[in-house]
Structure 1
Amino acid sequence: MATRIDLTLDCADASLLAAFWKTALGYVDEPPPAPFTTREEWLASFGPPQDEEEDDGAWLCDPDGVGPRLSILKVREPKTAKNRLHLDIRVPGHGTADERWARIETEADRLALAGGTILEEFDGHHIVMADPEGNEFCVVAGSG
């Protein structure tokens, strides 16, 4: 059995990034782990410092349970360099190279409207983007 992974993004504004990544991935807010009924109740069980705010984190999941969970955690340090790991958002579908590229461009435009930034286009292959806090990701053609 393969090991499952979670992905964690550090950020300055967890609510902003959570909204963007829910739009980008079709993810939803992850329910709190049992036996807790709210995320706040779960967080309180750790005895967090008094200066932590309610919006210090967000936890997202694939509603179909297929993709990795995404934790978005507020940190004090700003982003200072290019990501060493990035996500590829794979746009599904088959067709000609022109049709695949059109789907990539359409998805990049949708994500730009949601707050992302197009950084560079590699014509016919992929588009490099950044989320609202500058975390790089690519929009690429996928299969299926």
Structure 2
Amino acid sequence: MTVPFQITIDCADPDRMARFWAAALGYGLEGPPAGFADWNDYWRSVGVAEEDLGDGADSIVDPEGRGPRIWFQRVPEGKVVKNRIHLDLRVGGGREVPLDERRRRIEAAAERLVLAGATRVRVLAEPGVDHYAIAMRDPEGNEFDLN
């Protein structure tokens, strides 16, 4: 039996992170539960204090319902070390796609995500190896790869 799960990402600005990752993954911003005008109305209904409420979106969902929900949790501390887990975004199309085409697709995705707030770190490729990837960081410095 599988166990349902969500991915939780600690961050300083949930709305910015939700919008970035929605664009990166093709996800949508998650609307509030039925009967609530917005998420803050919902959180108030379950007892969350006013000072703990955020502004804007803080979760995203796969519009096709296949991928996990991702929640961006506001935390007071900043990121200080390398992630022990990261996402690999498979934008190149896989090994059945010729390497030159994969490289073109990966570079195009990198350009789009830089415009959305990401930072390129380095290209991950070696001559003679059928692999091309780009290591990147999201707007708050979390590592991810495009391959």
TM-score, normalising length: structure 1: 0.87
Give 1:41's aligned amino acid.
D
C-alpha RMSD over aligned residues: 1.8
Greater displacement, 99-108 / 53-62: 53-62
Q: Give the aligned partner of residue 11 of structure 1.
A: 11
Q: Give the aligned partner of residue 50 of structure 1.
A: 50
Change (3 A) 1:29 1:4: same
Q: 1:98 Cα deviation (Å)?
A: 1.2
**Does structure 1 residue 115 correspond to structure 2 residue 107?**
no
Contact 2:19–2:29 (8 Å) recurs in 1: no
Return the alpha-carbon distance in structure 2 between the equivalents of residues 83 and 35 of structure 1.
37
Q: Give the aligned partner of residue 106 of structure 1.
A: 108
**Does structure 1 residue 91 correspond to structure 2 residue 91?**
yes
Q: Give the aligned partner of residue 135 of structure 1.
A: 142
Return the alpha-carbon distance in structure 2 between the equivalents of residues 128 and 77 of structure 1.
24
Contact 1:57–1:71 (8 Å) recurs in 2: no
Contact 1:57–1:74 (8 Å) recurs in 2: no
Q: Give the aligned partner of residue 128 of structure 2.
A: none
Q: Over residues 7-43 of structure 1, what are the superposed CA-to-partner deviations in whole Å (9 max), with x where a residue is unaligned?
A: 1111111111111111111111112234545322221
* 2:67 partner SS: coil
Q: 1:73 Cα deviation (Å)?
A: 1.3
* 1:91 partner SS: coil
Return the alpha-carbon distance in structure 2 between the equivalents of residues 37 and 99 of structure 1.
45
* 2:109 partner SS: helix
Contact 2:110–2:120 (8 Å) recurs in 1: yes
TM-score, normalising length: structure 2: 0.85
Unpaired stretches in structure 2, ≥5 consecutive residues: 126-130
Give 1:4's aligned amino acid.
P
Contact 1:56–1:73 (8 Å) recurs in 2: no
Unpaired stretches in structure 1, ≥5 consecutive residues: none
Return the alpha-carbon distance in structure 2 between the equivalents of residues 58 and 111 of structure 1.
19
Aligned pairs for 1:32-47 (under 5 A) are: 32-34=32-34, 36-47=36-47
- What percentage of aligned pairs have identical amino acids? 44
